[in-house]
Structure 1
Amino acid sequence: MNMKMKRGRLSSSIIAILLIAVLAGCGNGGSGEGNGTASGGNENGEAGAPKSATLTFWHHYSTASPEEKTLNEVLIPKFEAEHPGIKVNAVAFPWDQLHKKIQIGGSAGELPDVARLDIIWVPEFQDAGLLVPLDEQFADFDEVVGQFLEGPVSTAKVGDHYYALPLNTNTKVLFWNKDLFAKAGLTEAPATTDQFFSALGKLKAANPDGWGYGEPALQGWNILPWLWSNGADVLSPQYDSATGYLNAPETANILKRLREAYKQGELAGFEQGNVPVTEGHANGTYAMMAEGPWAFAQFQSQFPDFQTAVAPFPGGETGSVQVLGGGDIGIFSQKHKQESWEFVKFMTSEFAQKEMAKAGQIPVNLQAIEDEEIRKIEYFAPFLEQLKTAKARPPIPEWPQIDRILSDTMSSIFMTDRDIQAELDAAAKSIDALLAK
């Protein structure tokens, strides 16, 4: 970045960990017109006379999570109190549905004013011309962006401009149920891939009505850590080919082991009707799962008596490599740009970031990270450690389409007895054709 970053007096140990991780990520309605009058800002982001507006905010905070409760009961009321005349209509969607909703809305001209975006969506929506370039539109952008860690800021940059602000950063670690492990004669979480598969059989034998591991989906977010940790990948380092990578022997080998465990009833969670994984981990259905820091907040809220344990994701040939996640917040509105910008700034402010941190979101605001109350959240520590080796999904506009091909291929592999290598060869060919367009 060319701009000067205002870092404040941040703990060097915490910022070093976060910067290492997030720099890897450089290179998850309605029309927004509301019922008010036009924006109070002009094309240069200069505020005009205060005018009323109702902003539509689309997001993918789970309706069962503390994050959405914090959004609706703490953040939005405070924002509206501080900004008389501006109302916020927050609409929740599941992660994948929100992505489709914005895609369809872009074609139909029905978009929100503001949306919470998975970091992998920013290049796609920028490429489609849907996002407002913040650094071009708002005169105080440089001042605002100096409040954040540089790595997360980079996830919102496409080409020479910034199309969002960072909202949070994250990754996943292994959660394991000590009671279920003890029943199976196990005392420690599996440190390696081999130990993981060995533990699955013992856990299933000790808990026949449950599963050793819960995986809620078969998308890149779920599958990539298994591939990366075991010497496999989806694309070349240049992101220009899947052949020789997705269909490499290393990919087929780890998928064969995972499918065998699924067929033996040792892992579940991604089929319709399965017990939701986080809830299932708390009630003894799944002995292990890989999840983010928000799971702790959900346990505290819904299962206060449950005590889980965490460990690094099982390491394979290339170590313990999890996926780098996080969210950005972007503006789609053409009518309420300035009001939308005020809301975006509020959601990334120290206050909002601290409140969301209490709900399980790792903040990117420097002052929020440094806050004494936030630094006392002990369960952030294992995620900060896992972030050291976390990798970002390919930062290319085609990734959402590639992810769908990957998910469909994984479903075919797990749900049928089709030849794994043939399925991977076909998927690699489809992805190569997509990249060649």
Structure 2
Amino acid sequence: MTNKWSKLSLVLLTMLVVLSACSSGNNKGNNQSSSTGEASGKNVTLTFWHHYSTASPEEKTLTQVLIPKFEAENPGIKVKAVAIPWDELHKKLQIGGSGGDLPDVARLDIIWVPEFQKRDLLLSLDEKFTDFNDIAQGLLEGPLTTGKVGDHYYGVPLNTNTKVLFWNQDMLTQSGVDKAPETTEEFFTALGKIKTKYDKVWGFGEPALQGWNLLPWIWSNGGDILSPDNTTAEAYLNSPATVDIISKLRDAYKAGQISGFKPGDVAVTEGHASGSYAMMAEGPWAVAQFNSQFADYKVQMAQFPKGSAGSIQVLGGEDLGIFSKDKQEEAWKFVKFMVSEAAQVEMGKVGQIPVNLAAMDNAEIKAIDYYGPFLEQLKTAKARPSVDVWPQIDGVLSDTMSSIFMTDKDIKAELDAAVSKIDGLLKQ
């Protein structure tokens, strides 16, 4: 009888040990999400590719403020941020899509979203995450649409922006120009006066000849790149309005009044602050750069010069997209953090216009007076065509404009050739 009870006691003891172990495991699972990797005692590391300039105020805020805060709030998740220049990032994502070397999350130019969605590389956020609509309701509607392709969202806006005219008041005044040019006619007249006064400087600095740089001039002059339905460039890119404004810009370049886009040219933002360029068109990040690197420079801003169609700048901004296949929940946590009020306010303080509605109403953001000109310019800003082949179209534009500006080739003939190439891309 004693032996029988001994065996029964042993069985009961074993069951209690097993139940205790199970209970301990369940408690751990209830207290901490297993998606963080902590249930298995392992950390999860997210790779985040972005194109904030190294050592810029935005990059410093990201790496020194936001990521440490996110990691503290989400034990078990680490974020490895990798800074890659804008054009290189695009190429790296294209190559990675074919070779499988992709980040978990990336900061995407808004125009890249259709391209990577078509290649089935981006996660459909509204289909995957049940709280997507809750997050979306707290973001600006316009920028939110940049992440939508078809019926679903493949990105959420991280920031929005546009460009305004920066002008050096002392240089313009010394040149006989008493205010910022309000029209394109006044702009080109001012370029001539500045060159007469300052032979060794340029009236306007332009860092590139891509759509981002030239579309504002073309749109404001009544021209365009593609038809409204984005099916052809014929009669738009090679229209009289486009030819007219490109001709004026090339004439100004040939006269030594415009520079900045050739290898070896003085960097435009730094050059504007130091007096090499009397004017430039840039975004709010330029103000943050001036404040951190050129504290003595007095920033002057105005609306982009009006053409026959008005003052139409390009709508910019970046979206956050998720490429991860195996860390999607962790990646979504990071994306939500980056578009939260707290994170948006921190980035807003260093020149990144928020897309979070609460952040835009935050007292610290409202106190940033230099946002005013950009918010005004955003009222008429237009987005680049939302087509998956835009990056290739942009390449055709850049090559064509380089040929036009660097040679004396016939502008209409060069644009006609570009139209043929672009229409071929649109038909793919």
Secondary structure of 1:392's counterpart equals coil
Instruction: Return the match for 1:201 from 192, 196, 210.
Output: 192
Residues in 2 aligned to 1:294 and 1:132: alpha-carbon distance in whole angstroms: 29
Deviation at 1:139, TM superposition (A): 2.0
Q: Is the 8 A contact 2:315 2:382 kept in 1?
A: yes
In structure 2, what is the equivalent of residue 72 of structure 1? 63
Secondary structure of 2:72's counterpart equals helix
Residues in 1 aligned to 2:74 and 2:42: alpha-carbon distance in whole angstroms: 10
Secondary structure of 1:323's counterpart equals coil
Farther-moved stretch of structure 1 (137-146 vs 308-317):
137-146
Using structure 2 for the length normalisation, give the TM-score: 0.90
Instruction: Return the match for 2:180 from 177, 186, 189.
Output: 189
In structure 1, what is the equivalent of residue 128 of structure 2? 137
1:393-408 aligned at under 5 Å gives the runs 393-408=384-399
Residues in 1 aligned to 2:271 and 2:83: alpha-carbon distance in whole angstroms: 23
Q: Is the 8 A contact 2:204 2:258 kept in 1?
A: yes
Secondary structure of 2:315's counterpart equals strand
In structure 2, what is the equivalent of residue 291 of structure 1? 282
In structure 1, what is the equivalent of residue 116 of structure 2? 125
Secondary structure of 1:110's counterpart equals coil
Instruction: Return the match for 1:342 from 333, 337, 340.
Output: 333
Secondary structure of 2:63's counterpart equals helix
Q: Deviation per CA, 1:122-179, whole angstroms, max 9, x where unpaired?
A: 1111011000111111122122222111221111111111111110111100000011
In structure 2, what is the equivalent of residue 24 of structure 1? none
How big is the alpha-carbon RMSD for the aligned residues of Structure 1 and Structure 2?
A: 1.6
Residues in 1 aligned to 2:328 and 2:78: alpha-carbon distance in whole angstroms: 14
Asked if 1:223 corresponds to 2:214, the answer is: yes
Residues in 1 aligned to 2:35 and 2:417: alpha-carbon distance in whole angstroms: 51
Secondary structure of 1:329's counterpart equals strand
Deviation at 1:299, TM superposition (A): 0.5
User: Structure 1 67/90 Cα, relative in aligned 2: closer, same or farther at 3 Å?
Assistant: same
Residues in 2 aligned to 1:158 and 1:40: alpha-carbon distance in whole angstroms: 32
In structure 1, what is the equivalent of residue 294 of structure 2? 303
Residues in 1 aligned to 2:255 and 2:39: alpha-carbon distance in whole angstroms: 65
Q: Is the 8 A contact 2:173 2:179 kept in 1?
A: no
Residues in 2 aligned to 1:281 and 1:397: alpha-carbon distance in whole angstroms: 35
1:1-400 aligned at under 5 Å gives the runs 40-41=34-35, 51-400=42-391
Residues in 2 aligned to 1:137 and 1:321: alpha-carbon distance in whole angstroms: 37
Q: Is the 8 A contact 2:46 2:80 kept in 1?
A: yes
Q: Deviation per CA, 1:300-342, whole angstroms, max 9, x where unpaired?
A: 0000110021111000110100001111101001121111111
User: Structure 1 49/351 Cα, relative in aligned 2: closer, same or farther at 3 Å?
Assistant: farther
Question: Looking at both structures, which has the greater relative contact order when contacts are Cα pairs under 8 Å and sequence separation is at least 6?
Answer: 1
User: Which structure 1 segments of 5+ residues have no match?
Assistant: 1-38
Deviation at 1:50, TM superposition (A): 7.6
Q: Is the 8 A contact 2:191 2:203 kept in 1?
A: yes
Matched positions, count: 396
Secondary structure of 1:62's counterpart equals coil
Identity of aligned residues (%): 65
Using structure 1 for the length normalisation, give the TM-score: 0.88
Deviation at 1:298, TM superposition (A): 0.6
Residues in 2 aligned to 1:49 and 1:384: alpha-carbon distance in whole angstroms: 48
Residues in 2 aligned to 1:56 and 1:301: alpha-carbon distance in whole angstroms: 28
Q: Is the 8 A contact 1:156 1:164 kept in 2?
A: yes
Residues in 1 aligned to 2:54 and 2:252: alpha-carbon distance in whole angstroms: 31
Q: Is the 8 A contact 1:40 1:50 kept in 2?
A: no
Secondary structure of 1:232's counterpart equals coil
Q: Of the two, which has the highest radius of gyration? A: 2
Q: Is the 8 A contact 2:349 2:364 kept in 1?
A: no
Q: Is the 8 A contact 1:41 1:337 kept in 2?
A: no
Residues in 2 aligned to 1:107 and 1:187: alpha-carbon distance in whole angstroms: 55
User: Which structure 2 segments of 5+ residues have no match?
Assistant: 1-32
Residues in 2 aligned to 1:108 and 1:326: alpha-carbon distance in whole angstroms: 27
Deviation at 1:41, TM superposition (A): 4.2
Q: Deviation per CA, 1:98-139, whole angstroms, max 9, x where unpaired?
A: 111101110111000100011111111101100011111112
4+ long deviations beyond 3 Å: 39-42, 47-51
Deviation at 1:381, TM superposition (A): 0.5
Considering fraction of residues, name the structure with more helix: 2
In structure 1, what is the equivalent of residue 8 of structure 2? none
Amino acid at match of 1:433: G
Secondary structure of 1:90's counterpart equals strand
Amino acid at match of 2:220: S
